[in-house]
Amino acid sequence: MSLFIRFVAVGFLLFLGGCVREAGPAPVSGPRESAIRESWGRFQRALRKPDVSEIASMTRFPLENNVGQFDDFKGLGSRATFERYFPQIFWDGVLPVLMNYQPTSAELEAGEWSVSYSERTGDTESGVIYGFKCSPDGKVWLTSVFFAG
């Protein structure tokens, strides 16, 4: 193979390599980052009040959960059930953790994060993990709640 043909072939391969890029989440900066931060701040302000209706409006139903294994819950498939069980989902101990949590840059890039909390009372330990996801326009949604204990 001549030197010229090798040169052209290598150049073509480099060109193709530059054109192909692995798809990933859209970079989080500018308006999208601002929208995510504003939406997360809105969720935190609603928790601080607490504004149950506002938090329910930022929750995706049916909410992914494991509450079927607990006797005092019948599921969180609807807004009405979520609002009814709000005190059991967001009890006093977990509120400061959620109100002070700030997603990392990696979590913002991925468009999802989780916040966990656990507490011990005597010999009993209980915990919860809240899952959040962002829509392409930057709106934050509560998408899952998993309990342990």
Q: What is the mean pLDDT of each run of 10 residues along the chain (149 residues)?
A: 36 36 50 93 96 97 76 71 90 93 93 94 91 96 90
Res 106: pLDDT:
93
Which two tokens mark 61? 């139903």
**Pairwise CA distance, residues 73 & 48, whole Å:** 24
Res 24: pLDDT:
43
Res 147: pLDDT:
87
Determine the residue type at 12: F
| Alpha helices per DSSP H over the chain | 3-19, 30-48, 52-57, 79-84, 86-89, 95-100, 105-110
- Bridge-based pairing of strands 112-121 and 124-134 is antiparallel
Res 28: pLDDT:
56
Q: What is the pTM of this model?
A: 0.76
